[in-house]
């Protein structure tokens, strides 16, 4: 296949290749208004400015609601235009990037912004956030710690277990993460104490952004589910394991995860990941009919987690791949809506922690990597961690690779800062 | 105390007395635009129209963002104005209702709309919805059914247990409720079946609408928590018990509650409920310091649930009172935010099912009333119910009463309709 290439120089190792074209919200010191951009190499295409220059004139004429969608503080209005509009804009962007005479090159000074000079913001106004639990390796490893006799519960292989998460505290990559206080029951105690968590963990996840409303009362069949997906993000669902252990029965995690989750600033369109589809694990027992899917529905996305501390050399502690996920996105959407629950543009469906692979580092959270805090993780130059300390920074990365280019998410980064208040 | 009275005739048994003045969103056949109204007796005060006539001129001049807040499809913009603006508007409404020369009487034909002629809509755009589990009677009764040996878990008296709920499927009173399908594990089976729920239940709850943003990372102390509450609603958190039993471990209820919750169209301001404060139950053991509160923090609100079927006379099956709730709203807000989780205007915090009181009908859901479906509920004229059948209608009511008047929520009503689709 001949690869179309751009007149714009794109570094070969960039996550933001010509095949990617992810969407985000950005601002600059010179122009503080938030607006929609597309990442390409080390640049951002300022779509609001490009529209002002008339580069999307034909596209705007075709979609009634398209006017001003790029001058919004979130992607929601753009997402709501629908798949045909997204596909047409993607084609136009490829044309602008390959045909120097199409107008982008002439307007480059106004339209191209250096990523290094931009501030990235939360890309989507998230309505509801649902977190699945779709990695068999993760569910088994965690189950062993919380329920040694009964790690994978009987329902796990019949339905994609999930719970509702907190949307208000989802923050963009780079936002500092404040160590939460909470109730903890220590050792043999019968009365909890109130203290800053001593078991602050990351969770490596992918998230799917809903691109189309579904109607209340009307399930979305698995075969149609991907029509409801706009794109993917990388996601860190920070967790306080000691708080979780004490609070989670019988209604699930609440405070142990409501203090913050971090999202990548760039939303990668589903179209960019088409070349990287792979079959998921064999599902045995066979799912019930409404959950049955066929074909290559997982994504071959390499995922890493790096920990940066002041006492060690930055170290990649997790290496895994999204291909290991047991339940795929079609099954998650079909299950979520089978009761008639409606989806809205901007909802987030996350995979749950992703683990899987061969190495000792094939675990997507410290709970697994340290076997529940019993086996400290050795970092280069002698430092060790069970859970995260104040000042530690966690950097997640995710990408797919072809011979010619990468399609990736950039980073999701968050640094732990001390709790700002005293015990009341 | 001399009771101020209105020149407008208000039926003595109306929930919407001069002391109440709840807010909602309505439209009429003559004017289909959604707008803000206040219920009074059998009328709605059309605040958008009243503003157009200049009746809020001084009030609008004092609050910079007040212009056009009544011409919105939800209350959120009005709520975001803050407590001082709400208090001032409430004073002005009382003036308009007591002083015939103040202008409302002269404009009555334009401003007063008969409730019977109005359509009521979802009052608030709900960001995040949190459901607590704050009735000890309910938690104990349900715990016995799901975990006979261990009904009230050890954490229950130390923290207000809660989980995140689904916001997208919250609907206004009167919306039909479609029976959901889901996975159910029957009797001794080891493999689930997919079928319409056979255990569709109601849950009688109150909800608190958040009126003020809190900052991410900054807990709200219990003593300040009520500053973050705009008002209260009556709430039915429909549940499918058979789906719940199979899915809820280990992350809590998901599909069993995501298909619909019903909310009252009227939001009763906290100020209207001040005369009805009562102390809650004694809390033993004493809560941890961040959860300690003193004073009369519960509300003496009588609550009923009526079931209407085609085979029986309408029958009140539940009679209880909000005063029995173990955890109060200050404790719920303090707990929710103690990690730094932020609240946003329009978030909903619900109490969980309310049970408590002397009678056999002091239970807020069928799961309790029928002891898990084992003891059918006898309805007048011979019909019986374990769980709800298609065509059944559930009507919840809630009110407080003084010698002179009632302050109430009106109704939350929902009728069960059959599932609209076939097993795929």
For the segment A359-388, what is each residue's pLDDT rounded down to a tens digit? 999 999 999 999 999 999 999 988 999 999
Token duo for residue A353: 């922690």
Residue A423: its pLDDT value, please? 52
Q: For tokens 């079927």, what's the residue?
A: B309
3-state secondary structure of A350: strand
Q: How far apart are CA B200 and CA B209, in angstroms?
A: 26
Chain B positions touching A174 (Cβ under 8 A) are none
For the segment A380-414, what is each residue's pLDDT rounded down to a tens digit? 988 999 999 999 999 999 999 988 779 999 999 99
Q: How far apart are CA B182 and CA A269, in angstroms?
A: 31
CA nearest to B181 within chain A: A339
Average pLDDT (A242-252) is 94
Helix boundaries (H) for A53-206: 57-62, 76-79, 83-98, 108-111, 136-146
Q: Is B166 on the interface with A (CB under 8 A)?
A: yes
Residues of A annotated as catalytic are 138
To the nearest whole percent, how much of chain A has pLDDT over 70? 98
What does the radius of gyration of chain A's CA atoms come to, in whole angstroms? 22
Residue B285: cis peptide before it, omega within 30 degrees of 0: yes
Q: Is B247 on the interface with A (CB under 8 A)?
A: yes
Q: Which residue of B169, B190, B290 is in closest CB contact with A342?
A: B169
CB atoms B254 and A161 under 8 Å: yes
CA A285, A291, A297, A298 dihedral sign is negative
Residue A64: its pLDDT value, please? 86
CB atoms B168 and A289 under 8 Å: no
CB A325, CB A351: distance < 8 Å: yes
Chain B positions touching A156 (Cβ under 8 A) are none
Residue A381: its pLDDT value, please? 86
CB atoms A253 and B251 under 8 Å: yes
pTM over 0.90: yes
Residue B2: its pLDDT value, please? 41
Question: Judged by CB atoms within 8 Å, which residues 70-129 of A form the interface with B?
Answer: 127-128
Give the number of other Cβ atoms within 10 Å of residue B44's Cβ. 25
Chain B positions touching A153 (Cβ under 8 A) are 249-250
Q: How many helices (H) and strands (E) does chain B have?
A: 10, 26
Token duo for residue B316: 């009140």
| DSSP of A126-144 | -S-EEEE---HHHHHHHHH
For the segment A29-63, what is each residue's pLDDT rounded down to a tens digit? 999 999 999 999 999 999 999 999 999 999 999 99
Q: How far apart are CA B97 and CA B45, in angstroms?
A: 10
Residues A182, A183, A184: CA angle, nearest 5 degrees: 115
Q: Which residues contact A102 (CB under 8 A, 6 or more apart)?
A: A55, A95, A96
CB atoms B181 and A216 under 8 Å: no
The DSSP bridge partners found for residue A262 are A171, A236
Q: Is B251 on the interface with A (CB under 8 A)?
A: yes
Task: Give the helix/strand (H/E) hosting B366.
Answer: helix B366-369
For B75, list phi and psi in degrees, rounded to 5: -80, -5
Q: Is A341 on the interface with B (CB under 8 A)?
A: yes
User: In Å, how far are A152, A228, A349, B118, B185 from A371, measured between CA atoms?
Assistant: 16, 37, 27, 60, 32
To the nearest whole percent, how much of chain A has pLDDT over 90? 92
3-state secondary structure of B24: strand
Q: Is B2 on the interface with A (CB under 8 A)?
A: no
CB atoms B255 and A167 under 8 Å: no
Q: Is B168 on the interface with A (CB under 8 A)?
A: yes
For the segment A264-318, what is each residue's pLDDT rounded down to a tens digit? 999 999 999 999 999 999 999 999 999 999 999 999 999 999 999 999 999 999 9
Question: Is B203 assigned to a binding site?
Answer: yes
Q: How far apart are CA B32 and CA A154, in angstroms?
A: 51
From B108's Cα to the closest Cα of chain A, the distance in A is: 38
Q: How far apart are CA B384 and CA A26, in angstroms?
A: 60
Question: Is A158 assigned to a binding site?
Answer: no
User: In Å, how far are A132, A155, A291, B240 from B191, measured between CA atoms?
Assistant: 21, 9, 15, 19
- Return the higher-pLDDT residue of B145 and A201: A201
For chain A, the average pLDDT equals 95
Residue A285: cis peptide before it, omega within 30 degrees of 0: yes
Give the number of other Cβ atoms within 10 Å of residue A82's Cβ. 15
Residue B316: its pLDDT value, please? 98
Question: Is B237 assigned to a binding site?
Answer: yes
Average pLDDT (A339-362) is 97
Q: How far apart are CA B390 and CA A149, in angstroms?
A: 41
Chain A positions touching B288 (Cβ under 8 A) are 183, 192, 194
Residue A214: its pLDDT value, please? 98
CB atoms B165 and A169 under 8 Å: no
Average pLDDT (A65-76) is 96
Q: Is A248 on the interface with B (CB under 8 A)?
A: yes
3-state secondary structure of B381: helix
Average pLDDT (A348-365) is 97
A25: left (phi over 0), alpha (psi -120 to 50) or beta: beta
CB atoms B163 and A167 under 8 Å: no
CB A230, CB A272: distance < 8 Å: no
Q: Is A42 on the interface with B (CB under 8 A)?
A: no
- Which regions of chain B are under pLDDT 70? 1-4, 421-424
Position A160 pLDDT exceeds 90: yes
Task: Provide the 8-state DSSP code for B241.
Answer: H
Q: Which residue of A153, A159, A342 is in closest CB contact with B250?
A: A153
Domain annotation for chain A: domains and CATH numbers: 3-121 (2.30.30.230), 129-417 (3.90.850.10)
Q: Which residues contact B395 (CB under 8 A, 6 or more apart)?
A: B305, B306, B307, B308, B314, B411, B412, B413
Q: How far apart are CA B110 and CA B273, in angstroms?
A: 30
Residue B404: its pLDDT value, please? 78
Residue A1: its pLDDT value, please? 36
Q: Which residue of B165, B194, B258 is in closest CB contact with A290?
A: B194
Q: Which residue of A339, A342, A343 is in closest CB contact with B181?
A: A339
Residue A345: its pLDDT value, please? 98
CB atoms A192 and B252 under 8 Å: no
Residue B423: its pLDDT value, please? 53
Residue B399: its pLDDT value, please? 98
- Return the higher-pLDDT residue of B148 and A227: A227
């Amino acid at each position: 296949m001949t690869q179309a290439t751009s007149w714009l120089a794109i570094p070969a190792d960039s996550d933001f290749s010509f095949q990617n074209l992810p969407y985000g919200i950005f601002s600059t010191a010179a122009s503080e208004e938030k607006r929609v951009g597309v990442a390409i190499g080390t640049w951002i295409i300022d779509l609001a400015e490009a529209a002002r220059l008339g580069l999307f004139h034909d596209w705007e004429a075709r979609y009634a609601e398209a006017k001003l969608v790029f001058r919004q503080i979130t992607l929601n209005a753009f997402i709501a235009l629908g798949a045909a509009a997204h596909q047409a804009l993607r084609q136009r962007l490829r044309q602008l990037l390959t045909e120097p005479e199409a107008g982008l090159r002439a307007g480059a000074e106004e339209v191209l912004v250096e990523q290094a000079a931009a501030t990235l913001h939360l890309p989507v106004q998230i309505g509801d956030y649902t977190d699945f639990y779709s990695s068999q390796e993760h569910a088994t490893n965690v189950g062993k710690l919380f329920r040694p006799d009964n790690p994978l519960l009987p329902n796990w292989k019949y339905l994609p277990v999930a719970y509702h998460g907190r949307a208000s505290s989802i923050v963009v990559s780079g936002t500092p993460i404040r160590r939460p206080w909470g109730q903890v029951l220590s050792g043999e105690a019968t009365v909890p104490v109130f203290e800053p968590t001593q078991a602050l963990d990351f969770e490596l996840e992918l998230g799917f952004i809903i691109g189309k409303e579904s109607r209340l009362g009307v399930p979305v069949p698995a075969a149609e589910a991907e029509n409801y997906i706009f794109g993917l993000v990388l996601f860190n669902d920070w967790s306080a394991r000691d708080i979780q252990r004490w609070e989670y029965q019988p209604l699930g995690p609440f405070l142990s995860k409501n203090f913050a989750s971090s999202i990548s600033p760039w939303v990668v369109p589903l179209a960019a990941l088409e070349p990287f589809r792979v079959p998921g694990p064999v599902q045995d027992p066979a799912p019930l009919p409404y959950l049955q899917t066929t074909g290559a529905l997982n994504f071959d996305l390499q995922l890493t987690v790096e920990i940066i501390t002041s006492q060690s050399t930055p170290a990649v502690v997790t290496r895994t791949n999204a291909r290991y996920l047991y339940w795929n996105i079609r099954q998650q959407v079909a299950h979520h809506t089978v009761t008639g629950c409606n989806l809205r543009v901007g909802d987030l469906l996350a995979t749950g922690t992703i683990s899987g692979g061969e190495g000792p580092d094939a675990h997507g959270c410290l709970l697994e990597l340290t076997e529940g805090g019993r086996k400290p993780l050795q970092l280069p130059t002698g430092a060790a961690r069970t859970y995260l300390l104040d000042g530690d920074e966690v950097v997640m990365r995710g990408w797919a690779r072809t011979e010619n280019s990468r399609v990736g998410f950039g980073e999701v980064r968050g640094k732990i800062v001390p709790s700002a208040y005293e015990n009341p």
